[in-house]
Amino acid sequence: MTEANAYAGAGVDILAGETAVDMMQADVAATYTPGVLAGVGGFGAAFALGTQYREPVLISGTDGVGTKLLLAIMAGRHESIGQDLVAMVMNDIVAQGAKPLFLLDYLAIAKMVPEQVATIVRGIAQATQATGAALIGGESAELPGMYAPDHYDLAAFGVGVVERDEMLTVDRVATGDVLIGLASSGIHSNGYSLVRTVLGLEQEADFTALPTTLQETLLTPTTLYAQAVLPLLAEQLVVSMAHITGGGIVGNLPRALPADVSVTLEWGSWPILPIFMELQRLGQLSLADMLATFNLGLGMILVVKPPHVARVLAMLADEGQAAYQVGTVTPAMSAQLNWRGKQPWS
């Protein structure tokens, strides 16, 4: 038995890995921007920042998709999960005022199936390109014995750039500033362990037995906010921003605020998506659980100075991004987050 055959016998198919790389090459290359000096195929990727920046600061982030992957695996749907991955990383980078530059992905899989891997990476590449960034490298690892059959995991690392004096920091937030919420496409990529518990999704048959519309809702990819938000950043219309991920509004909005202010959010100022109403009803979840787990229809919250609110809303509308004036920054109160209006749940 040759060494290559021995490795294949141990569960690692090098030829399948090479085939997957060949199949994804064009999709990856299509993301390359002028800054890419060396991409997939070398020992490391190279990116030239250029000379157009006065005092550039690199903003980095890394993340995964979480247990939403289990639903994609149950459904045999791998074409859009890459957007979830890219959004989780690049939305964080945009939230600090940075323009996405490049992304590297990591795919670990039980068995290398070239067509499946190429489909996953194609989704990653297309989403990366939609943010204006390049997919300049990554790793696809076949790990027999590490994962259950047909299972895989995804992670990514991204980098963006911003001028030092244009970084979004909590220092610029002040009493009277306005909170503008950007609509989410659905659950995004957080809270799926609770979703699976509420809906009783333990195996493939549980998922495929759901109504088709509910399956589609659960697999709706996370919104990419770069296209809508970068024009606002270019005009310096935003002073701070929160990406609403794990921990919901209550866990993420305070990260965009200084300690010496509070905010008041208005119930009813944005539509809570039907999927959240249904999950609350089926799971009999408390208001506290809903707030600490889900985005409730807001994927980003921007902090904007009052004179800029109309301009921001108009620009977001031009980009097709639904947005709502959801609250205001107030002097410090006993709680940093406060709510006004009729609560959707007790």
Does 110 lie in the same domain as 175? no
Let me know whether 161 and 179 are in one domain.
no
The alpha carbon of 84 is separated from its chain's Cα centroid by a whole number of angstroms, namely 5
Per the domain annotation, does 213 fall within a domain?
no
Instruction: Please indicate, yes or no, if residue 77 is contained in any of the structural domains.
Output: yes
- Same-domain check for residues 35 and 90: yes
pTM of the complete model = 0.94
Q: Output the DSSP codes for 57-122.
A: EEEEEEEE-TTHHHHHHHHT--SSHHHHHHHHHHHHHHTTTPEEEEEEEEEEESS--HHHHHHHHH
Contact 219, 73 (CB under 8 A): no
pLDDT tens across 43-93, in order?
A: 888 999 988 999 999 999 999 999 999 999 999 999 999 999 999 999 999
Establish if 123 belongs to a structural domain.
yes
Task: Indicate if 233 and 253 belong to the same structural domain.
Answer: yes
What CATH number does residue 134 fall under?
Answer: 3.30.1330.10
Q: What is the CA radius of gyration of the chain?
A: 21
For residue 323, being part of any structural domain is answered with yes
| Domain identity same for 178 and 149 | no
The H or E element containing residue 161 is strand 152-163
Say yes or no: 21 and 136 in one domain.
yes
Full pLDDT tens readout for the chain, 346 residues: 455 578 888 888 888 888 888 888 899 999 999 999 976 667 888 999 988 999 999 999 999 999 999 999 999 999 999 999 999 999 999 999 999 999 999 999 999 999 999 999 999 999 999 999 999 999 999 999 899 999 999 999 999 999 999 999 999 999 999 999 999 999 999 999 999 999 999 999 999 999 999 999 999 999 999 999 999 999 999 999 999 999 999 999 999 999 999 999 999 999 999 999 999 999 999 999 999 999 999 999 999 999 999 999 999 999 999 999 999 999 999 999 999 999 998 7
**Residue 195 located in a structural domain:** no
Domain boundary among 131, 166, 201: 166
State the DSSP H helix or E strand holding residue 313, giving kind and residue range, or none if neither. Answer: helix 309-318
Our count of domains for the chain comes to 2
Rounded to the nearest integer, the mean pLDDT of the chain is 94
Same structural domain, 22 and 84: yes
List b or e across 208-217, with b for residues whose CB sees 16 or more CB atoms inside 10 angstroms.
Answer: eebeeeebeb
Look at phi and psi of residue 38 and say left if phi exceeds 0, alpha if psi is from -120 to 50, else beta: beta
Same domain assignment for residues 96 and 180? no
Whether 118 and 16 map to the same domain: the answer is yes
Residue 42 per-residue DSSP state: B
How far is residue 106's CA from residue 180's CA, in Å, rounded to a whole number? 34
Considering the domain architecture, whether residues 79 and 58 belong to the same structural domain is answered as yes
What single-letter amino acid sits at 226?
A: A
Question: Do residues 109 and 158 share a domain?
Answer: yes
| Domain encompassing residue 298 | 170-188+223-340
CB 81 within 8 A of CB 120: yes
Cβ–Cβ under 8 Å, residues 35 and 142: no
**In this structure, what CATH number is given to the domain that contains residue 228?**
3.90.650.10
Q: Is residue 49 part of a domain?
A: no
Separation between Cα atoms, residue 48 and residue 61, nearest integer Å? 19
* 194, part of any domain: no
DSSP 8-state symbol, 273: P
Do 282 and 256 fall into the same domain? yes
Strands 152-163 vs 99-109: parallel, antiparallel or unpaired: antiparallel
Give the separation between CA 192 and CA 68, rounded to whole angstroms.
6
193 falls within a domain: no
